[in-house]
Amino acid sequence: MPIITPVTKILGVRVPIIQGGMQWVGVPKLAAAVSEAGGLGILTALTQPSPDALRAAIRETRKLTAKPIGVNITLLPSINPPDYEGYARAAVEEGVRIFETAGNNPGPLIKYFKSKGCIVVHKCTTVRHAKSAEKLGVDILSIDGFECAGHPGEDDIGGLVLLARAIKELKVPFIASGGIADARGLAAALALGASGINMGTRFMCTVESPIHQNIKDKIVASTERDTVHIFRTLHNTARVFKNKVSMEVVAIEKRGNAKFEDIRDLVSGARGRLVYEKGDPDIGVWSAGITIGLINDIPTCEELLRRFERETEEIVGGLNKVVFAGESGESCPVSRRAKL
């Protein structure tokens, strides 16, 4: 049975699940598979070397699915920033109408997308930033908890508290991001007020994911203790897989007064990309959320989302078995108590 929420209505999808915009992972094959399965597949703009390359990726994805797709544009702290405007313009001109934004100062980008009639999903790690994005006119907010892969912000607040805060303070629909890899996570997010979820690490470990089979197998074999934070001392915290390279970075930071130049070669994007291409989990740093402790198989995207639909319905239906005491002290099932 379809799960209908404000997010499914806004995005035009069957399942309220968005595939995160992951560097080197959000490519046509995966994005199309997620969209075909009923969720929203996301192409990662900065995975492509140029706006024209993004155009080609969008066209390739369109050959694989006629269902809605989105494009992620993450604004990174950089001395020589990418051509964000060029990527945005290329995607809009190619007919994309759903965008995921994240990072610093998204105002100009959001303004541009809204002027073109686009839907904007903006990712935030704090409620205060979400409220600022809300004022900019975003359609959906993605509330990113401390459990996530990549950059969780500097406040170290988990999704349980962030979502409970969000439902009290936000006016637009929001999705839960970080820490979710199964139907229990989706059911919990819905109970906390979210209208859907965003998943990254879980989609890395699917048949259609472009990463090397060795890395998928490594994710399956790992536990929730196999990630670590780097860039802590640089105030740009990132959660990555715990391997030789990431632990070397942590060791350098612990010495004190570390500068980015001291770890630049270790954390280069080129080395991270080789992890996915060559299948060596220790050749560079690569993002992974603590949800690796919940992942124990490598399904197709279709199998995964069908499982989410089926199991979420079972979990929510099972809550009817929860019993409260009535006013007289007798047991009262949730389903009956709701009518009292």
Q: pTM for this one?
A: 0.93
pLDDT at 20: 95
pLDDT beneath 70, residues of the chain: 325-340
- Per DSSP, the three-state class of 232 is coil
pLDDT at 32: 98
Residue 227, phi then psi, degrees to nearest 5: -125, 165
- Per DSSP, the three-state class of 199 is strand
CA torsion through residues 161, 162, 166, 172, sign: negative
Residue 43, phi then psi, degrees to nearest 5: -85, 135
Residues whose CB falls within 8 Å of the CB of residue 185, separated by 6 or more in sequence, listed in order: 176, 179, 197, 291, 294
Decide: 169 and 127 in contact? Cβ < 8 Å: yes
Decide: 74 and 150 in contact? Cβ < 8 Å: no
Q: Give 168-186 pLDDT, tens digit per residue.
A: 999 999 999 999 999 999 9
pLDDT at 10: 98
Residues whose CB falls within 8 Å of the CB of residue 286, separated by 6 or more in sequence, listed in order: 215, 240, 241, 243, 272, 275, 276
Extract the tokens encoding 324.
């409260």
**Degrees to nearest 5, angle at CA 285 with 282 and 290:** 100
Decide: 302 and 37 in contact? Cβ < 8 Å: yes
pLDDT at 77: 77
Give the integer Cα–Cα distance in Å for 203 and 98.
19
- Per DSSP, the three-state class of 182 is coil
Give the integer Cα–Cα distance in Å for 149 and 61.
25
The string of DSSP codes covering 119-162 is EEEEEESSHHHHHHHHHTT-SEEEEE-TTSSB---SS---HHHH
Give the integer Cα–Cα distance in Å for 232 and 229.
7
Give the integer Cα–Cα distance in Å for 58 and 27.
9
Nearest C-alpha neighbor of 40 from the set 9, 3, 13 = 13
pLDDT at 337: 44
CATH topology classification for 6-210: TIM Barrel (3.20.20)
pLDDT at 332: 60
Q: Measured in whole angstroms, how far is the alpha carbon of residue 158 from the centre of its chain? A: 15
Decide: 121 and 70 in contact? Cβ < 8 Å: yes
Extract the tokens encoding 120.
């904007």
In the chain, domain spans = 6-210, 213-278
pLDDT at 339: 44
pLDDT at 278: 97
pLDDT at 340: 36
Residues whose CB falls within 8 Å of the CB of residue 188, separated by 6 or more in sequence, listed in order: 180
- Per DSSP, the three-state class of 315 is helix
Give the integer Cα–Cα distance in Å for 124 and 145.
9
